[in-house]
């Protein structure tokens, strides 16, 4: 069953993606290893983009852009454990000329925040790797999801 079938939700500029914690996500203590929270957040942002009707590869090939993490500020508040179902939220806080600022949280099924982050995404040219304005069609879609 895909995340879309298991309860993906979207409203305004917020997107939710369910993630199950597997053995491979944990460390020797049975807790989610810190770098895996970044993977969970990346999945939520990627699925948000897919929900809007785009894939990373399509944007690279057809629009000539790549969306990359420019800056990240993360706080780990509580541990997640094996077999837990997590709710990963990606909320757009700001849309700039060539960037998006996401506020992301990872919560357990009790709605307890386990981890939160501010993630700045830069839009860059797929060939030159220099900053490039977000395409107008993405801006228009963001205007329709408020």
Gap between the Cα atoms of 142 and 75, Å rounded: 27
What's the CATH number where 109 sits?
3.10.129.10
pLDDT at 7: 43
pLDDT at 98: 96
pTM of the predicted model, to two decimals? 0.86
Query: If pLDDT is split at 50, 70 and 90, which confidence band does 123 have?
Result: very high
Active site residues: 27
Pairing of strands 9-11, 14-20: antiparallel
pLDDT in tens, 50-59: 998 999 999 9
pLDDT at 78: 97
| Of the candidates 5, 3, 17, 7, the residue with the CA atom closest to the CA atom of residue 106 | 17
Q: Which residue has the tokens 């199950």?
A: 20
Gap between the Cα atoms of 99 and 94, Å rounded: 8
Domain that holds residue 62: 3-144
Q: Please report, rounded to a whole number, the percentage of residues in the chain having pLDDT higher than 90.
A: 81
The answer to whether 116 and 78 are in contact (CB under 8 A) is no
Q: How many domains does the chain have?
A: 1
Which carries the bigger pLDDT value, residue 12 or residue 89? Answer: 89
């Amino acid at each position: 069953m895909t995340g879309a079938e298991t309860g993906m939700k979207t409203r305004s500029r917020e997107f939710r993606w369910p993630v199950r914690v597997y053995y491979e996500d944990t460390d020797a203590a049975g807790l989610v290893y810190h770098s895996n929270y970044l993977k969970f957040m990346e999945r939520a942002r990627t699925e948000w983009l897919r929900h809007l009707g785009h894939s990373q590869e399509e944007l690279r090939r057809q629009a000539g852009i790549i969306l990359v993490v420019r800056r990240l500020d993360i706080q780990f508040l509580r541990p997640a454990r094996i077999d837990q179902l997590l709710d990963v939220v990606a909320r757009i806080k700001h849309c700039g000329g060539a960037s998006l600022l996401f506020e992301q949280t990872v919560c357990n099924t009790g709605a307890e925040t386990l981890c939160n982050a501010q993630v700045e995404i830069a839009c860059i040219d797929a060939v030159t790797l220099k900053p490039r304005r977000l395409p107008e069609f993405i801006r228009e879609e963001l205007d329709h999801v408020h």
